[in-house]
Amino acid sequence: MGRADDLAVNVLRQGQPLRIKARGASMLPLLRNGDVVTVTPATSPQIRVGDVICYESLPERLMVHRVVARAGDDLLAKGDAVGSVDTVSPARLLGKVTVVERCGKLTRLDTVAARVRNRVMAVLSRHTPVFPLAVHAIRRLRAATRG
């Protein structure tokens, strides 16, 4: 694991919230590359389907994905824009994303409205990536309105 990842894991394991920069496109459209997320330490029983979590993936990287289901004590997590699902054991869970910061604007993920929206996204993305479907729908809508 990289030094920065080691430090992040240690901070979260000590029960302190942490702001980290999101990397990649697996959580589009919710998270863009470079967004800053606040991760609040959480345990598996505190996590609901739809929550966006931070966990240690294999091989030893930090991941931020949405919980789409539970399997006993494990969480099933996936990026909104990808099809593969990770099984996250309670030992690998580091916390829950509670705030997304983009261009100075803060979006809370722990409000009632956000939890409902997150749950819907989890249901929609359970078996298919949501982002490609959304892009396709938007393109069709634009084409239809242009004639």
Q: What is the CATH number of the domain that holds 135?
A: 2.10.109.10
- Tell me which residue range forms the domain holding 54: 3-146
Q: Give per-residue pLDDT as tens, 75-115.
A: 999 998 888 899 999 999 999 999 999 999 999 999 999 99
User: For residues 72 and 51, is the Cβ–Cβ distance under 8 A?
Assistant: no
Give the chain's count of helices (H) and strands (E). 3, 8
Q: In degrees, to the nearest 5, what angle opens at C-alpha 85 toward C-alphas 125 and 113?
A: 40
Cα four-point dihedral sign 139, 125, 122, 40: negative
Q: What is the mean pLDDT of residues 24-39?
A: 93
β-strand pairing of 105-108 with 52-57: unpaired
Span 49-72, pLDDT tens digits? 999 999 998 766 899 999 999 999
Please tell me the total count of domains within the chain: 1
pTM of the predicted model, to two decimals? 0.84
